[in-house]
Amino acid sequence: MLVALDDPLPDPETSRRVVFHVKSRFHAPILKPGWEQARPHHVTLFTNDVEEVLAHQPDVVVACDSQLVSMRRILPEAFTVNTRHGLISKLHAASLAKSADYFCVASPSQVDWFRDRDIAPRKDFWPIGYLQLDPLFRGEVKPVSTGAPAGMPVVLFTPTHGEAISGVPMLGEDPVAAIRPNPNDAFVIIKPHPEIPLRHPEWMDRFRVSAALHENVMLVTDTHASIDAYMAASDIMVSDCSSVMLSYLALDRPLVLLSNQQRFDSPERFDREGPEWQWRSIGEDVEDIANLPAAVINAIGSPGSHAEARETARQHIFGELTDGRTGERLSQNIAALPRADYKPIS
């Protein structure tokens, strides 16, 4: 992905040498909107290769995961910027914030959430919006073609990984039947978290068997594919505490949220103060799986339910930064940084 090397040279007074480093394939669509906006103004590289990063001699390294801790060791003079790869805590957001010089958040109120917990990046917060949602907020995302019968509602199931917090263990061996007993009630898209095939291959097997048993089902086996087109194609989302539950607020559509009781017995990834648990009122909150089909039908039939809570949460999480210009603001903030006195470690 060295296409940017063919770009015209930007203004030498305001341009910086910027690397967008991708740790996992599903991070690519998260960082891509920022890279696209930075290309006209900076000398950029979009890569997952560390040797290419070193060769680029960057002033700034942008990433959305924890690899910036290592990047600081090999590029001690470069600034590091973490854009996040989600909107929730899972007891992971704090480490991401501390990993970078500058930490991007979706709104000023998110800065308050971190500061109230004595969590801060090395230098400052950048409240600029959430990169991944730029195309969705701009109305540029084309819904994926599902093949669903005309007029049939589409339910998007987006489980996270982590056995104690995921909704998958709640659904048993036949997830589709647990979500939608009647195949004529709705079309179901199963879009697993990108890391489920690696962490829980048995869950993917369960999804495959269940999808094959029922009509009107789409299983997304390329779990690293961007979620945006599937969100755009759906009428409601069934999730658990996956970050996409908050991304879905961009569309103001109904949610059904599975609350796994195992979270209390296994504290890993369970942050009771995280927005994923503080904002359960944005949808139908289901703890007893027997209530799930009725919750799905209610969400389909009453899309206005929980609308006030969704709007309150949307304002808290995104504020006014829903114009699809997060990448533009990121590029401007980078331009304001001084150039690095690059001294790579040999």
**Residue 198 sits in the same domain as residue 276:** yes
Q: How many CB atoms lie within 10 A of CB 215?
A: 11
Distance CA 25, CA 181 (A): 34
Each residue's pLDDT tens digit, 223-274 = 999 999 999 999 999 999 999 999 999 999 999 999 999 999 877 789 999 9
**Residue 160 sits in the same domain as residue 303:** yes
Helix/strand/coil for 228: helix
**Residue 35 sits in the same domain as residue 161:** no
Q: How many CB atoms lie within 10 A of CB 182?
A: 10
Q: How many CB atoms lie within 10 A of CB 189?
A: 25
**Residue 127 sits in the same domain as residue 87:** yes
Domain of residue 195: give its range: 154-317
Q: What is the pTM of this model?
A: 0.94
Distance CA 289, CA 259 (A): 9
**Residue 121 sits in the same domain as residue 91:** yes
Given a contact cutoff of 8 angstroms between Cβ atoms, the answer to whether 135 and 178 are in contact is: no
**Residue 193 sits in the same domain as residue 300:** yes
Each residue's pLDDT tens digit, 58-69 = 999 999 999 999
Distance CA 83, CA 75 (A): 18
Distance CA 218, CA 204 (A): 13
In this predicted structure, the answer to whether residue 120 has a pLDDT above a threshold of 60 is yes
CATH number of the domain to which 232 belongs: 3.40.50.2000
**Residue 288 sits in the same domain as residue 202:** yes
**Residue 195 sits in the same domain as residue 270:** yes
Distance CA 19, CA 2 (A): 11
pLDDT band at 8 (very low <50, low <70, confident <90, very high): confident
Each residue's pLDDT tens digit, 192-216 = 999 999 999 999 999 999 999 999 9
Handedness of CA 3, 6, 7, 9 (dihedral sign): positive
